[in-house]
Amino acid sequence: MKSEFDPSEYSLETLAIRSGIQRSQFQEHSEAMYLTSSFIFESAAQAAARFSNKEPGNIYSRFTNPTVTAFETRLAAMEGAEMALATSSGMAAILACAMGLLKAGDHIVASRSIFGASIILFNNILGRFGIETTWVELSDIDGWIDAVKPNTRMFYLETPANPTMELVDIAALSARTRTLGIPLVVDNCLCTPVLQKPLALGADIVIHSATKFLDGQGRVLGGAVLGSAEMIRDKILPVLRTAGPTLSAFNAWVLLKGLETLQIRVEAQSAKALAIAQWLESHPAVERVLHPGLESHPQYELACRQQSAGGAVLSFIVHGGRASAWKVIDHCKIISITANLGDTKSTITHPATTTHGRISQDERDRAGIVEGMVRIAVGLEGLEDLKADLARGLS
C-alpha cells in the first residue's frame, strides 16, 4: 500500500508530475479526464449531506470536478500555496479575485504596468460597480503606500510587467503591505513557479493565466487564483461556485499535462530569450532591449535575487517608431504574429496597437508602451532560425 503523497518532501520537477493524482478504481496511470457536468448520489440523504457540506464529495462541475481538482492541487503544490482554484481564463481569475476581495466603495492600488485587459477590467468594469483604482509606478514602493486610502482593500501587480519588463521587489513591498493588512495580489504569469514564487516572498494571492506557459502549447484558456486555504475558501470559492467562471475538465486535463513539462520548457525558452536579447542589444536598428536577464536592465540585481532566470518574454524598441516595428513583425516567416505568449511557438506582437491598444494614449505613455516597441515571447525553435527571422525586418 502506497503512503500519502506529501508535497513538502519533493522538488518542483517531481511535484509537476506526481502531485494531484487521485486514481479511479481502474488504476489508470495517466490522469483521468472526467467529462461530466454532475455527479450522482447513492440516496436522497447522501445528496442532502453533500449539498449541506456535511459530507465531502463532488456535486456538480461548476463546484468541483476531479480533473479540475487534480490541476488545482498540482499547481498549488508547485506555487507553495495552501489552496488553488482554477478558472476559465486568466481574466476570470482576476475578476474572481476582485469580486472575492472587494465590494462597492472599495479602492485598489495597482501597478500601471499591467496587462491591458486588466487595466480595462479595473477602470471600466469594476469602476461601474463603485470600485476605484489608483495607478502607481510598479517599482516605487513608497508610491504604493502613499496611494493607500482608508478604503483600500487590494494591491495588484505583475512582475515582470508585460511588455515593459519592469520589476518590483516583492519581499520589500509585501513587508510594507502586510503591516496594513491589505492583500497583495501578484500575477505570476510571466515567471511561473519555475522562475519566481511570490507567496514565499510575502504576497498573499497569486494569479495565473494558465493559457500562457502552464499550457505552453497555445491550446486552451485557463486561469487560477492561489493563496492561503482560508482566503481562497472563504473569499474566492463562493464567487466561483455561484458566478460560474470555472475551468472545464477538458482544459484542466490539458493544463495538467502542460505542468509536467513546465520546468524544462520555461528554462529552455528563457535561455533562448536571453541569447536573443543579447544579440538584439548589439543590433544598430535597435534602440533598447528590455529583458530582466540583461545586465543593462535597470533592475538586474533585483532580477537575479528574485527570479531564477529572466524569463521567455522580451521587448525591444526599434528606431523609427510604429513603421519600423511593424516592418520587423511583417518580415517574420516563422515567428507567429499573435498576441499570445508562453507557447513553444515563438510569437511577436506590437503592444501599442494590440494587447494595449484599447487603453488610452495617456495610459500607454504612463505604462511606457511606445510605438517602436515590439514584444517577443520566445518558444523552442532553433536560436539561429529565430535570429534570422528578426534580422530580416531589422535590416
Ligand X SMILES: Cc1ncc(COP(=O)(O)O)c(C=O)c1O
Could you tell me how far CA 157 lies from the centroid of its own chain? 11
* Closest alpha carbon to 268 in 321, 346, 156, 323: 346
CA distance 383 to 298: 26
Minimum Å gap between C-beta 245 and ligand X is 10
In the window 71-110, what residues touch ligand X (CB under 6 A)? 89-91
Site string for ligand X, 249-288 (x = CB under 6 A): ----------------------------------------
Closer CB to ligand X, 114 or 249, in the complex:
114
Minimum Å gap between C-beta 106 and ligand X is 21
> Does residue 209 interact with ligand X by CB under 6 A?
yes
DSSP per-residue letters across 6-26: -GGGS-HHHHHHHTT----TT
Minimum Å gap between C-beta 342 and ligand X is 8
One-letter amino acid at 101 equals L
| DSSP H/E element including 47 | helix 44-51
CB 223 within 8 A of CB 208: yes
Closer CB to ligand X, 192 or 324, in the complex:
192
Grid cell digits, residue 260: 509536467
CB 117 within 8 A of CB 162: no
Closer CB to ligand X, 91 or 374, in the complex:
91
Judged by CB under 6 A, the residue of 34, 63, 71, 115 near ligand X is 115
Closer CB to ligand X, 226 or 394, in the complex:
226
> Does residue 215 interact with ligand X by CB under 6 A?
no
* Closest alpha carbon to 269 in 353, 176, 183, 386: 386
Minimum Å gap between C-beta 174 and ligand X is 19
Closer CB to ligand X, 189 or 206, in the complex:
189
> Does residue 223 interact with ligand X by CB under 6 A?
yes
Helices assigned H by DSSP within 228-316: 229-231, 237-243, 249-260, 262-281, 300-306
DSSP 5: P
> Does residue 141 interact with ligand X by CB under 6 A?
no
Phi, psi of 187 (to 5 degrees): -80, 110
CA distance 39 to 20: 20
One-letter amino acid at 145 equals I
CA R_g for the chain: 21
Judged by CB under 6 A, the residue of 68, 194, 221, 239 near ligand X is 221
> Does residue 325 interact with ligand X by CB under 6 A?
no
Site string for ligand X, 184-203 (x = CB under 6 A): ---x-x--------------
- For ligand X, the nearest residue by Cβ is 90
Closer CB to ligand X, 286 or 369, in the complex:
369
One-letter amino acid at 383 equals L
> Does residue 211 interact with ligand X by CB under 6 A?
yes
Closer CB to ligand X, 97 or 221, in the complex:
221
Residues engaged in binding ligand X (CB under 6 A)? 89-91, 115, 158, 162, 187, 189, 209, 211, 221, 223
